[in-house]
Amino acid sequence: QKEVEQNSGPLSVPEGAIASLNCTYSDRGSQSFFWYRQYSGKSPELIMFIYSNGDKEDGRFTAQLNKASQYVSLLIRDSQPSDSATYLCAVEDSARQLTFGSGTQLTVLP
Amino acid sequence: EPEVTQTPSHQVTQMGQEVILRCVPISNHLYFYWYRQILGQKVEFLVSFYNNEISEKSEIFDDQFSVERPDGSNFTLKIRSTKLEDSAMYFCASSEALPDEKLFFGSGTQLSVL
């Protein structure tokens, strides 16, 4: 069974700090990796996607992918209280289905 | 900004009743999906739909479930005989093209089966 694992948290960081969110996956055939943000009671919102090994930066967000280690991470620089949410890692497997992790709850303290 | 819209936002039904959840995907998107999220649990894939047919479905999507694109804009999920364990938030999503799979989610329908 394909698994996507995340630390459930909660992860608390002070405002302005870097938040680091981690995700591992079991299916070596996975090709595409996504980070979604979900506020409580709301739908997931895509914030980053990455397909190739290495880093991808978009504003305050950096996604990192290491396919050999089956590991993907999300860094949030200069964290803001509005970043407080649950961050979902999602992996597209070889069957082109998205499998979501259980999410990491992030709290940014003012 | 274009968005996926879902109706109703809340649906309460009695066990054994049929429900239809409705979605209007983003207009130029070609791939449509249903996901569900039981309270406090993971977002789970149900089904994907392309070119007027199901392209993938999960083990959850059994004979009680069906999807339809009755016209050029709507995409529906029908649950024929609801069970208590069908209570969840159901999300419709759409994407422009594979293999990007950049999904845009609707705001969801909260289904409560009593």
The arithmetic mean of pLDDT across residues A54-77, rounded, is 96
Residues present in chain A in total: 110
Higher pLDDT, A90 or A96: A90
- Report the largest interatomic distance among the alpha carbons of chain A, rounded to a whole angstrom: 42
pLDDT for A58 beyond 80:
yes
* A34 with B56: Cβ contact below 8 A: no
pLDDT for A12 beyond 70:
yes
Cβ atoms of B108 and B38 within 8 Å: the answer is: no
B40 part of contact set with chain A, CB < 8 Å: no
Q: Is A31 exposed, middle or buried (0-12, 13-18, 19+ CB in 10 A)?
A: middle
Looking at residue B101, its pLDDT comes to 65
A104 part of contact set with chain B, CB < 8 Å: no
Cβ atoms of A41 and A33 within 8 Å: the answer is: no
Quickly state the pLDDT bin for A6 (edges 50, 70, 90): very high
> Residue ranges of chain B with pLDDT lower than 70?
98-101
Looking at residue A70, its pLDDT comes to 95
- Interface A-B, measured as beta-carbon pairs within 8 A, has a size of 50
Region of residue B108 (left: phi > 0; alpha: psi -120 to 50; beta: else) = left
B45 part of contact set with chain A, CB < 8 Å: yes
Which residues of chain B lie closer than 8 angstroms to A43, CB-CB? 91, 105-108
The arithmetic mean of pLDDT across residues A7-32, rounded, is 92
A31 part of contact set with chain B, CB < 8 Å: yes
Quickly state the pLDDT bin for A8 (edges 50, 70, 90): confident
Looking at residue B98, its pLDDT comes to 66
* B99 with A34: Cβ contact below 8 A: no
